[in-house]
């Protein structure tokens, strides 16, 4: 189809009629498809079924009985595995339970209740705020919202958060205590922080002494089209004396099993000591057998890397299908824009302003569940009502084919309607 | 030996000389034994090694893929397992991760940050306090201490907390927000709450509307000598409109593997809904594969009960050895008192006043590590310096034989010293 800006009212009316007919045909199929959550497909999970039989012995390398109590911060070989994979010294790593979200939530809880590095507990500071690069991850926003922290959206760009905006805000306001950041293949944009962004995040002046970046490297090894390097934010921060600023998170949720993987937290030696002081009260230790299971299955960081190659190959056809269909159906129409991700789990699409909710509702009505419009913004409020997250991993290729075509149709329907309104206005 | 009260100064001096000689002989053996923590022995853990191969399928009964994301509060069959075992309706149960301590810590964290049932968050209430039946569990006390809650010891008796003291305190002071209680085979006394204690805890008038009992039923099915019944505190509390008062905890840490078991939290429907509202922000779900593994291994509540019988039989020789040795060595001496537990994991001994620290130090010097004296009291401060926790499960029988004999010797040495001081005074 032509670009909407170039279409006459009559052409738009004609097009709307055609689209409505196609939409009714889709509805008649009685689809029931879900592109709402970043869940791996069963076929992806099958790739690590070897985990079920990986535990041939329950002793760690040092002879410790992993069935029993003990070892708060993870068995040494699990620390080493992630240390090698992420190039973070083992002594800066805590291996936790199965959920990195849980590690983030608990980290924020500790900051609220106890503060950090001698600063006032955040519960005792009035009106604290948090920067939320948006579009971003709804579960991140839910954590800060749960704590009653005021969230300030800042623009997310293809190379990371808009640093001009970030630097200005954090320099001026000492109640801004931190920010979320997914540095690689971000959810949902697929943005990757460039070296300059990392440098600026690490070195920027913050009015709050206890400003913290929650660096959720959830997709740190989840490359599909291209292996994107990530500058070491710990080293960059250490170089300016800001190493305590960084709390980094990672998990195998999208490497092995989301329901039963392992998660890690990494930070400065000083922060790790502080965290362990409370964590040792919270628990005697996390599931060491699952840690050992993962170590025995992957053997080493190269084992994970080799697996991620396979996973990338398994995901590529799905991303190809989404990106090709978007291009075929929406390219040049002026109805949508999107960025081609290089990895990760999502494609984010911007409709015309005020069309995202409508688009998602249309898809829902025809049997395709998308992530709720607005979910990629703090408080679920997308100021332009335009961003929609597409999660292509869970459906089969055949399902995805149907779902993404229907989705494009809905983008068009909502967009043409909008264009017609504007012609009428 | 005779009762110390009946001994002359000369007899005591003579005895001290003999004991010191025996002590030096022990020291010369270069022992290195640990009776400090309530850890199961490897042979106990071996009893559930079937868990390693129990997971023949990763689908739940309803067909859900347990490898993937989802199910915040536990797979239905895991809820049913604990519901049947503990006679608590499944809808009042949340199946968590591997640590019940973690569930307790997080429960208290939520009360601090968010409050409960519309009452003020506890972080905003000045000077809140907590009742700690003592002797009690050091890790419980560490949790309330970490939150900055003032701990008030109340006497623990063979049939539970001293309810006259408890009722008076909670009725008068609305800053007393809760209490710890291990209702069966308590750590370390082996106390079991009788029906009347349960009734009074459930029905007592509390000045704080949001008073909470953390009911840590850690040894709920851990009978050794006798199956002790426990009155249903939920039903008793519901009968007086106090059901929200109870937060109950349980885990398989001392049933299967402490490092990799499963833990549960049970409470009123209304509390569970409130907890899930925050928990759903904290995590997408706990390790469902481990839940499924436990269900497939035990099959049903009777499977757990049958296993606990075996476990009780495995522990009985150790408890026999401790209790018989205490009787043989210390019975009638006036140097120590203890209660014979009917189950659980510990024996608690009271030395003469001001002798616990000395006794533990003597044992340590001769190579036997006991739980630190004072650990069974809030802030590690035993006002009489007399209570010592004996944890007989971890050592082998041979090790335990040596360790408990040495321990008795140290109790005598410290006690005779004390008796001599008093004769001199």
Task: Give A146-184 pLDDT, tens digit per residue.
Answer: 999 999 999 999 999 999 999 999 999 999 999 999 999
Asked if A282 and B70 come within 8 Å (Cβ–Cβ), the reply is: no
Model pLDDT, residue A425: 78
pLDDT at B103 over 90: yes
Q: Which of B32, B31, B35 is nearest to B394 (CA)?
A: B35
Residues of chain B found within 8 Å of residue A97, distances taken between Cβ atoms: 97-98, 286-287
CB B140 within 8 A of CB B133: no
Residues of chain A found within 8 Å of residue B146, distances taken between Cβ atoms: 278, 281
Alpha carbon distance B286, A98 (integer Å):
7
Residue window 164-193, chain B: list those with CB within 8 Å of chain A: none
Residue holding tokens 């082998």? Answer: B396
Average pLDDT of chain A to the nearest whole number:
97
Query: Which pLDDT band, with edges at 50, 70 and 90, does A423 fall under?
Result: confident
Asked if A258 and B67 come within 8 Å (Cβ–Cβ), the reply is: yes
Question: What residue in A sits closest to B261 (Cα-Cα)?
Answer: A287
Model pLDDT, residue B46: 97
Residues of chain A found within 8 Å of residue B78, distances taken between Cβ atoms: none
Q: Is the ipTM of this complex over 0.90?
A: yes
Mean pLDDT of B242-267: 97
Residue window 62-101, chain A: list those with CB within 8 Å of chain B: 65-71, 97-99, 101
Residues linked to residue B246 through DSSP beta bridges, in sequence order: B213
Q: Say what the pTM is.
A: 0.97
Residues of chain A found within 8 Å of residue B39, distances taken between Cβ atoms: 68-70
Q: Which of B399, B376, B400 is nearest to B388 (CA)?
A: B376
- What's the pLDDT tens digit per position in A337-382? 999 999 999 999 999 999 999 999 999 999 999 999 999 999 999 9
Model pLDDT, residue B424: 83
Q: In what order do the strands lie in the sheet with A93-95?
A: A93-95, A263-267, A246-251, A212-216, A176-181, A129-134, A150-157, A160-161
Mean pLDDT of B269-274: 98
- What's the pLDDT tens digit per position in A221-231? 999 999 999 99
Residue window 268-307, chain B: list those with CB within 8 Å of chain A: 278, 281-290
Model pLDDT, residue A157: 95
- What's the pLDDT tens digit per position in A19-49? 999 999 999 999 999 898 899 999 999 999 9
Asked if A258 and B290 come within 8 Å (Cβ–Cβ), the reply is: no
Q: What percent of chain A has pLDDT over 90?
A: 97
- What's the pLDDT tens digit per position in A61-110? 999 999 999 999 999 999 999 999 999 999 999 999 999 999 999 999 99
pLDDT at A259 over 90: no
CB A276 within 8 A of CB A253: no
- Where are the extended beta strands (E) located within B221-360? 246-251, 263-266, 336-338, 347-351
CB B272 within 8 A of CB A82: no
Asked if B99 and A284 come within 8 Å (Cβ–Cβ), the reply is: yes
Nearest to A260 among B101, B257, B288 (CB): B288
pLDDT at B423 over 90: no
Residues of chain B found within 8 Å of residue A284, distances taken between Cβ atoms: 99, 101, 139, 258
Q: What percent of chain B has pLDDT over 70?
A: 100
CB B133 within 8 A of CB B213: no
Model pLDDT, residue B150: 98
Q: What is the DSSP letter of B371?
A: P
Average pLDDT of chain B to the nearest whole number:
97
Asked if B106 and A282 come within 8 Å (Cβ–Cβ), the reply is: yes
Query: Which pLDDT band, with edges at 50, 70 and 90, does A1 fall under?
Result: confident
Asked if B42 and A52 come within 8 Å (Cβ–Cβ), the reply is: no
Asked if B284 and A258 come within 8 Å (Cβ–Cβ), the reply is: yes
- Chain B nearest-CA distance from A260, in A, is 5
pLDDT at B356 over 90: yes
**Alpha-carbon A197 to chain mean position:** 18
Mean pLDDT of B296-304: 98
pLDDT at A333 over 90: yes
- What's the pLDDT tens digit per position in B136-147? 999 999 999 999
Asked if A289 and B259 come within 8 Å (Cβ–Cβ), the reply is: yes
Model pLDDT, residue A424: 83
Residues of chain B found within 8 Å of residue A71, distances taken between Cβ atoms: 259
- What's the pLDDT tens digit per position in B364-375? 999 999 999 999
Nearest to B260 among A146, A282, A288 (CB): A288
């Amino acid at each position: 189809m032509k670009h909407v800006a170039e279409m006459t009212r009559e052409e738009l009316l004609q097009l709307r009629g055609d689209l409505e007919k196609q939409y009714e045909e889709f509805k008649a199929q009685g689809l029931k498809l879900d592109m709402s959550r970043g869940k791996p497909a069963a076929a992806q999970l099958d790739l690590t079924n070897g985990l079920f039989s990986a535990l041939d012995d329950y002793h760690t390398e040092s002879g410790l009985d992993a069935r029993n109590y003990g070892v708060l911060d993870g068995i040494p070989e699990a620390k080493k595995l992630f240390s090698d994979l992420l190039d973070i010294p083992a002594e800066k790593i805590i291996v936790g339970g199965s959920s990195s979200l849980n590690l983030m939530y608990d980290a924020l809880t500790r900051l609220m209740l106890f503060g950090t590095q001698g600063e006032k507990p955040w519960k005792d500071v009035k009106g604290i705020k948090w920067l939320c690069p948006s579009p971003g991850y709804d579960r991140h926003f839910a954590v800060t919202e749960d704590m009653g922290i005021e969230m300030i959206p800042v623009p997310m760009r293809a190379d990371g958060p808009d640093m001009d905006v970030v630097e200005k805000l954090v320099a001026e306001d000492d109640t801004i205590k931190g920010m979320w950041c997914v540095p690689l293949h971000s959810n949902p944009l697929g943005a990757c922080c460039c070296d300059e962004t990392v440098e600026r995040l690490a070195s920027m002046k913050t009015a709050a002494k206890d400003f913290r970046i929650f660096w959720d490297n959830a997709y740190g090894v989840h490359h599909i089209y291209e292996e994107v390097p990530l500058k070491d934010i710990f080293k960059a921060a250490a170089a300016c004396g800001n190493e305590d600023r960084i709390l980094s998170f990672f998990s195998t949720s999208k490497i092995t099993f989301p329901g039963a993987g392992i998660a890690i937290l990494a930070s400065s030696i000083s922060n790790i000591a502080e965290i362990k002081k409370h964590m040792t009260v919270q628990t005697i230790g996390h599931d060491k057998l699952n840690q050992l299971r993962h170590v025995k299955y992957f053997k080493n960081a190269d084992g994970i890397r080799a697996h991620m190659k396979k996973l990338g190959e398994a995901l590529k056809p799905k991303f190809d299908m989404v990106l090709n269909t978007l291009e075929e159906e929406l390219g040049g129409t002026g109805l949508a824009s999107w960025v081609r991700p290089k990895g990760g789990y999502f494609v984010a699409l911007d409709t015309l302003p005020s069309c995202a909710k409508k688009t998602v509702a249309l898809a829902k009505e025809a049997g395709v569940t998308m992530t709720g419009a607005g979910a990629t913004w703090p408080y679920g409020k997308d100021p332009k009502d335009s961003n929609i997250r597409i999660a292509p991993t869970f459906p089969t290729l055949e399902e995805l084919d149907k779902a993404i075509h229907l989705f494009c149709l809905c983008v068009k329907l909502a967009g043409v309607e909008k264009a017609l309104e504007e012609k009428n206005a």
